[in-house]
Chain A
Amino acid sequence: QQQVKQSPQSLIVQKGGISIINCAYENTAFDYFPWYQQFPGKGPALLIAIRPDVSEKKEGRFTISFNKSAKQFSLHIMDSQPGDSATYFCAARGRGGGADGLTFGKGTHLIIQP
């Protein structure tokens, strides 16, 4: 059972454009939603995270938009740069999910074309 659904699987964006990755979750007990960035040969690294009591969080060029009623959240990368090319994972965490570990989406392979 996939509790966090992520789309698209892959995304190609021109340099300077906006990259948008979407996630939807099922378990209403989730209460922490991080995004991780993974470069080839490296482990995932926390990029930005949000709790459901806010609808948006911005850190530099990265913004999370959160819609609690729709059980959806998305990552927006403004002014996308070639160095942003990586795999991005959304995740969710909460005791109601049955574990303290993160439940990940399947990832989005992002390519920023120069």
Chain B
Amino acid sequence: DSGVTQTPKHLITATGQRVTLRCSPRSGDLSVYWYQQSLDQGLQFLIQYYNGEERAKGNILERFSAQQFPDLHSELNLSSLELGDSALYFCASSAWGTSGNTIYFGEGSWLTVV
């Protein structure tokens, strides 16, 4: 158990809808990362928050947004969903944002868009 908790584990929704994925980082970790895993694209870095502030952006679509709250949990909001958004979404956390610090992954949220 990595200590990173993600909910829901599975989600099925229709195209055009909006969903929110939730993540609780490991106790004490200030940095939260979101990744998307699909068969054809592998693990893609979406966005990172550090202590409530956006720290870095990767390949995140404009239809997607995230935030990190004062209690350090994070939410990833996916809107105007398309079939291609079906993927496994991982949250990860680390103690701080500097290079070299171990990143721990949750077990992911499976999103299926139908």
Contact = CB atoms under 8 A, between A and B. Distances in A.
Nearest to A44: B105
B97 interface: yes
A8 to B, nearest CB: 14
Interface residues of B, number: 30
Interface stretch (B11-19, B53-61, B64-72, B73-81): B53-61
Nearest to A89: B43
B58 A101 contact: yes
Query: Mostly helix, strand, loop or mixed at chain B's interface?
Result: strand
A97 B102 CA distance: 17
Contacts, number: 73
A107 B99 contact: no
B111 to A, nearest CB: 15
Interface of A is mostly: strand
Contacts of B45: 99, 101-104
A104 B90 contact: no
Interface string A29-56: 0011010100001111110010100000
Interface of B: 2, 4, 31, 33, 35, 42-48, 50, 55-58, 90, 92, 97-100, 102-108
Interface of A: 31-32, 34, 36, 41-46, 49, 51, 89, 93-95, 98-107
